[in-house]
Structure 1
């Protein structure tokens, strides 16, 4: 894939107990930082870490659907690693060979890759595992804030020409488990 756009990677190690909640929180936080319409905020408390989210039925349904697909993919297979890839695009005129307009295409301008690995900590390691997961969430939030406020993060955003809805740009969330896209 031609990556002329910023790609931000977040690595997280999860357990069965907190996987859905953590992935939901991370996706909501990414959307919170990259939606440009009128966003009604909400917060998520995970392991004493407060993360921002978007209170919008359509976005909540999208996130829940993708997290469920990820969960089912992890549960049904032997592979305990997967990715959730959030791609923000803009609609651009698609032209043929002779510069004739032939419709529109989605051209990505930014991508967020959440690499997730499932592990089951031993009961005596639970406290340490949760502390590490909380630290990972804080680091992920810091990555989001640093990227979206950086020069590269700001200049990646195309001009907003359509101000209707919560996002003027198409959003795609892809789920991969074992390198295979699901859902």
Structure 2
């Protein structure tokens, strides 16, 4: 898949009480459906929605670091931001004039989770926000499941040439707030 990758987008409105659990659960769900190595499954319960997750110390540490960095940036500045997960294929090209080889990561799929931080003004507002967020989480899980099991989603995955580690493909998790990477 050459050129620009069309991102799959998930939009969520979170509050201070739920943001960490929501972002962790969504990132874990994406990785659960796109890591092709041997993974140990687990689940996250967020607002009575059950989402799949990956039990792996390195993955959990990476997600925690990105979610915490994202929160620090959102809490002190703009109320909107995004966390993206980009999967790439490692390709080898001949170097200039055919001397040596150059390795590059070519993206084949990107997930973008747009978030907005909203603080409820009352208990009724909080209950409504959480009910809406639970519906959005269910819809996000359906989006992940539908895309990854669709013909288009399966066709996006490059040929797996090695089965080393939890993922045969490099992936990055990036957080952006106010146009700046955090």
Q: Deviations over 1:97-144 (max 9, x none)?
A: 545543201100100000000001122211111100000000000000
Structure 2: unaligned runs, 5 residues or longer: none
* C-alpha distance in structure 2 between counterparts of 1:100 and 1:116, whole Å: 46
Q: Which residue of 2 aligns with 1:45?
A: 45
Give the Cα separation in 2 of the matches to 1:100 and 1:9: 41
2:70 matched to 1:70? yes
- For 1:112, what is the secondary structure of its paired residue? strand
Q: After TM superposition, what 4+ stretches of structure 1 lie above 2 angstroms from structure 2? A: 94-102
Question: Does structure 1 retain, via aligned residues, the 8 Å contact 2:45–2:51?
Answer: yes
Partner of 1:112: 111
On the 8 A contact 2:95/2:102 being kept in 1, the answer is no
2:138 aligns with 138
> CA contact under 8 A between 1:6 and 1:156: conserved in structure 2?
no
Report how many residues are paired. 179
User: For structure 1, which runs of at least 5 residues remain unmatched after alignment?
Assistant: none
Question: CA RMSD of the aligned region, Å?
Answer: 1.2
CA-CA distance at 1:161 after TM superposition: 0.8
Written as runs of structure 1 = structure 2, the 5 A alignment for 1:1-183 is 2-3=3-4, 5-77=5-77, 79-96=78-95, 98-123=97-122, 124-182=124-182
**C-alpha contact 1:84 1:113 (8 A) present in aligned 2:** yes
Change over 3 Å in CA distance of 1:109–1:99 after alignment to 2: farther
My pick for the range that moved more, 94-103 or 151-160, is: 94-103
**Structure 1 residues 105 and 47, CA, compared in 2 at 3 Å: closer, same or farther?**
same
Q: 1:157 Cα shift?
A: 0.4
Give the structure-1-normalised TM-score: 0.94
